[in-house]
Chain A
Amino acid sequence: RKEVEQDPGPFNVPEGATVAFNCTYSNSASQSFFWYRQDCRKEPKLLMSVYSSGNEDGRFTAQLNRASQYISLLIRDSKLSDSATYLCVVNPSGSARQLTFGSGTQLTVLP
């Protein structure tokens, strides 16, 4: 089983739709969780950290479910500019050594 798994998609949604991605992780001791966004052929950039209590940033909501070992990202009122690949990132052990990346979920928002 991969350490971090994501549905690769692609997710094709119309503008204005609400879309949700899930990401599962295998190490129950994982400490930190993030969503990164990667535009085509560009570098990944931090979208948001995921906190235990859940957190929201504008149209984006991230949640953590430790019991089921998954994190989620909800995008409301999708914009064309949201089209990108969304990477789930987990710090498996809380050490500074390594972050583990999922292979990403591709989102295309259609006009």
Chain B
Amino acid sequence: EAQVTQNPRYLITVTGKKLTVTCSQNMNHEYMSWYRQDPGLGLRQIYYSMNVEVTDKGDVPEGYKVSRKEKRNFPLILESPSPNQTSLYFCASRPTSGFSGANVLTFGAGSRLTVL
């Protein structure tokens, strides 16, 4: 089954304790992205990657890091989490080649993070 898998789905942590949220896709998509979703603010892009070893900042990158060493994986790293990073996080991927599906994102099921 074509899918985007993120882990953990739920996490409660404390301020300053480094954590990584993993994201993996099995569709050979070039493009991967991380979003956070907060009430009233919608989905905001954190980082995105156009392909292996190519990453760039989205709209709200502060406090986050990413890496893209393999095409299928795009982990999100919070080096020193703070309470304002409490949110629902989604990883997503899509192809970038020129056909009608190139703009259609497939999302993971989400990771709900609470930072105390």
Contact = CB atoms under 8 A, between A and B. Distances in A.
A44 B107 contact: yes
| Dominant secondary structure at the A interface | loop
Contacts, number: 49
Given A43-B109, A45-B107, A96 B41 contact: no
B40 A44 contact: no
Interface string B61-94: 0000000000000000000000000001010000
B104 A34 contact: yes
A97 B42 contact: no
Given A96-B31, A96-B50, A44 B90 contact: yes
Interface stretch (A13-21, A60-68, A69-77, A99-107): A99-107
Contacts of A44: 43, 90, 105, 107
B22 interface: no
23 contacts: A32-B103, A34-B104, A41-B88, A41-B110, A41-B112, A42-B109, A42-B110, A44-B43, A44-B105, A44-B107, A49-B100, A49-B103, A87-B42, A87-B43, A91-B103, A96-B31, A96-B103, A97-B48, A97-B56, A98-B58, A101-B42, A101-B44, A103-B42
